[in-house]
Amino acid sequence: MSIPIFTDPEQAADLLRSGALVAFGTETVYGLGADARSDEAVAKIYSAKSRPMFNPLIAHVATLSAAEALIDLGAQGRALAETFWPGPLTLVGPLRDPEAVSGLVTAGLPTLAVRIPDNAMALKLLELVDAPVAAPSANPSGKLSPTTAMHVAQELGPEVAGVLDTGPCTVGLESTIISLEGAPTLLRHGGLPNEALEEVLGHALQTLEKAQTITAPGQLASHYAPRAGIRLNAMTAQPGEAHLGFGEVEGDLNLSPDADLTQAAKALFEALRRLDITGAGVIAVAPIPQIGLGRAINDRLQRAAAPRPDSLG
């Protein structure tokens, strides 16, 4: 039995308010939503995704005032929020009231990750629910993130009451995550390039040493993984490999023949899925320049290429 897909935000909001899980599209990837105030609803997210319980969730809201009611943004955080929200940016700040969300959302941390997504139907849904909605990417833990409603319906189980189909995601990579504890610090590369953030801040972002990054997202070394192995910086494919091209490196499928990183980001997860179902043992991926969105694309590819544990939880 597959998960029902619908296009009515009211129906999705009713289900969320009743404590059910509903997946919904955003500009980045599809999220698996639950009422962030309810322990019971949020617990279902961890179970549906087989997600390790120590990995906290992002609370999604419709307005800046709803975000500020949850966390203290500070002056720099507010400047980023005013410039980039709604958009592919998540801000992690001190949680004002520990009772405002279930402790399962923060995994017990004194901080909360908050985001306003840039998708009209998702915003309508959040307005109707009128409460923070906890939503990780709507994929089984460790797997490729979904960028269409069909991806979600095919890969998650009956714990999910429905999928609000908001169309294919326009950005295609998860949000960039910035911590506002101390100087703004990059926790995850994502759909908003560092350069844009640094222009607003007027200075470089801090980055975390690897050892400190336990709380951040796909900071688990293996993540975003297709079934096939991944080989990076491949100018050509070897026998038995599928080749994912970029720019002049043509490949079996090309992320962007014009070498446009925005187009490549949008196409990435779908392209990996398509090559994965060809049955190739390895997907060889052309080099992607390490600038702008290229950093987030390379981050996802490196995690997809990392040695895989038997289970992520």
Residues of this chain that interact with ligand TXA (CB under 6 A) are: 26, 28-29, 31, 55-58, 90, 92, 106, 109, 111-113, 115, 117, 135-137, 174-175, 177, 187, 215-217
Shortest approach of Mg ion to residue 142 CB, angstroms? 9
Binding site partner of 79, from ligand TXA, Mg ion, none, Cβ cut-off 5-8 A by kind: none
- Position of tokens 């079996």? 252
Binding site partner of 194, from ligand TXA, Mg ion, none, Cβ cut-off 5-8 A by kind: none
Binding site partner of 106, from Mg ion, ligand TXA, none, Cβ cut-off 5-8 A by kind: ligand TXA
Binding site partner of 256, from ligand TXA, Mg ion, none, Cβ cut-off 5-8 A by kind: none
Nearer to ligand TXA, 23 or 280 (CB): 23
Nearer to Mg ion, 38 or 139 (CB): 139
Shortest approach of Mg ion to residue 54 CB, angstroms? 14
Under 8 Å between Cβ of 172 and 29: yes
Shortest approach of ligand TXA to residue 279 CB, angstroms? 27
Name the nearest CA neighbour of 144 among 273, 312, 295: 273
List all residues 6 or more positions away from 51 whose beta carbon is below 8 Å from its beta carbon. Answer: 45, 136, 141, 312, 313
| Binding site residues, Mg ion, CB under 5 A | 137
Structure tokens at 217: 């997202």
- Residues paired with residue 185 on neighbouring β-strands, in sequence order: 179, 206
Secondary structure of residue 109 in the 3-state scheme: coil
Give the residue nearest to Mg ion (CB): 137
Nearer to ligand TXA, 135 or 301 (CB): 135
Cα–Cα distance list, 294 to 57, 176, 221, 246 (Å): 25, 13, 18, 11
CA distance linking residue 241 with residue 239, whole number of Å: 6
Structure tokens at 80: 């980023």
Binding site partner of 152, from Mg ion, ligand TXA, none, Cβ cut-off 5-8 A by kind: none
Give one DSSP letter per residue of 37-63, joined into a string: T-HHHHHHHHHHHT--TTS--EEE-SS
Binding site partner of 149, from ligand TXA, Mg ion, none, Cβ cut-off 5-8 A by kind: none
Nearer to ligand TXA, 287 or 292 (CB): 292
Nearer to ligand TXA, 112 or 286 (CB): 112
Shortest approach of ligand TXA to residue 78 CB, angstroms? 18
Beta strand 206-207 with 229-231 is unpaired
First-to-last alpha carbon distance for the chain, in angstroms, is: 25
Nearer to ligand TXA, 220 or 234 (CB): 220
